[in-house]
Amino acid sequence: MAPITPTLDATIRAITNGEAPGDTCTPDLATGPWEFDATPGYGPGSSMLDPIPTGAPRQGALPRAYQEASTEDLHRRIRAAKEALGERLVILGHFYQRDEVVQHADFLGDSFQLANAALTKPDAEHIVFCGVHFMAETADILAREGQRVILPNLAAGCSMADMADVDSVESAWEQLTALYGTEPDAHGRAPVIPVTYMNSSAALKAFCGRNGGIVCTSSNASTVLEWAFQRGQRVLFFPDQHLGRNTAKAMGVPLSRMPMWNPRQPLGGSTADELVDARVILWHGYCSVHKRFSVDQVTAAREQHPDVRVIVHPECPMEVVDAADEAGSTDYIRRAVASATTPTTFAIGTEINMVNRLAAEHPQHTIFCLDPVICPCSTMYRIHPGYLAWVLDELVAGRVVNQITVEPDMQADARLALERMLAAKPRG
């Protein structure tokens, strides 16, 4: 993958130093993420104000040599380690990763594509996942025996995934079961089916596996909801309220039948009648990258570029999805841009690293991010080439650091929920 010049990081530094115009959401983005390893919180970027759960993994100090190395030196170290490890190593890069990392990836894609990509490299003992924690867990669940998954910075969590923890979901489940009972209706449909977004912990995927539920991604959410409606009268959808609402609304579910579940309130803050009438119960979670997009930004894009094609991610609020021309997953957005046959102006509502990459790869189009403020995903930002070089050098030295392992008692249930997703087919 050819590097983008200037990279987003270089642009952020230039803005922060007053050498380039533009805005970032915090000047801290110009520093190395190791500045935040000892600080509780997600670090600078879009989720910096989200509360971080106690017990969230912390990263130990990155050795100084990697903090102080020049970019060229880090690239040289990464290339040398890749060469030394050969087929024993595969590096996966998420669409939202910074370009300095993506250029070393063997595969670039969304979380599910990447977990599957690792399976095409059965000789790879080491899967280095440049993404966030739940992605590395999913790769570990799907990996073959003996493959190890490594997350270069343990602090690369996901604030949305952290908004639904297994204890809160178990508590919601108990309250809903007390309200609905456990008996199926006359059509054999269970009272409620749990559906978790891929952006969730392995514990929640396992919860879904155990309770007749399923996982979805942003590219198959409507197929998965259909699957769940065939088997259940209602769905409990977590953690992203926006993906749940946008998908169910597009399938014709009225908003009045989508009550919210706030885990801090009894019955999630809804009445028993609302929950009985519900079709989709939406967990009170959101993505702080996609929450930044607004209808005003869509309006401004249309004013400045009357022919603009606005495509946003379904994690954006409903009003933004309604104002856009199209909504779809990262892979949908990538394919939409790649398949446009005439020069087109695209305003895109998703993470800035991906938008900039699309712009660099498709110079025939005008492509810009709907959000004028540069505010990358805080947790994707935690993966810097310094961490990548460090974990690879350790592997070359025969030491495995930052391995992500899903506990064996969760593996089978979580895999079941993922397999149900793979088997779910769209109707017709």
Q: Which residues bind ligand CIZ (CB under 6 A)?
A: 110-112, 198-199, 217-218, 313, 329-331
Lookup: tokens for 128: 């280095």
Which residue number, 103 or 218, has a Cβ lying nearer to ligand CIZ? 218
Closest CA to 386 of 41, 68, 40: 68
- Which residues partner with 373 through β-bridges? 23
Which residue number, 69 or 135, has a Cβ lying nearer to ligand CIZ? 135
CB of 134 to ligand CIZ, least distance (A): 9
Which residue number, 34 or 112, has a Cβ lying nearer to ligand CIZ? 112
Which residue number, 112 or 286, has a Cβ lying nearer to ligand CIZ? 112
CB of 331 to ligand CIZ, least distance (A): 6
CB of 275 to ligand CIZ, least distance (A): 29
CB of 94 to ligand CIZ, least distance (A): 6
CB of 243 to ligand CIZ, least distance (A): 9
Q: How many angstroms separate the CA atoms of 112 and 68, rounded?
A: 34
Q: Which single residue is written with the structure tokens 């993420």?
A: 33
418: helix, strand or coil: helix
- Which residues partner with 93 through β-bridges? 108, 130
Which residue number, 147 or 217, has a Cβ lying nearer to ligand CIZ? 217
Which residue number, 118 or 176, has a Cβ lying nearer to ligand CIZ? 118
Q: How many angstroms separate the CA atoms of 195 and 225, rounded?
A: 8
CB of 127 to ligand CIZ, least distance (A): 16
Q: How many angstroms separate the CA atoms of 7 and 351, rounded?
A: 14
Contact 395, 85 (CB under 8 A): yes
Q: How many angstroms separate the CA atoms of 109 and 334, rounded?
A: 10
Helix (H) or strand (E) segment spanning residue 130: strand 126-130
Handedness of CA 164, 170, 175, 179 (dihedral sign): positive
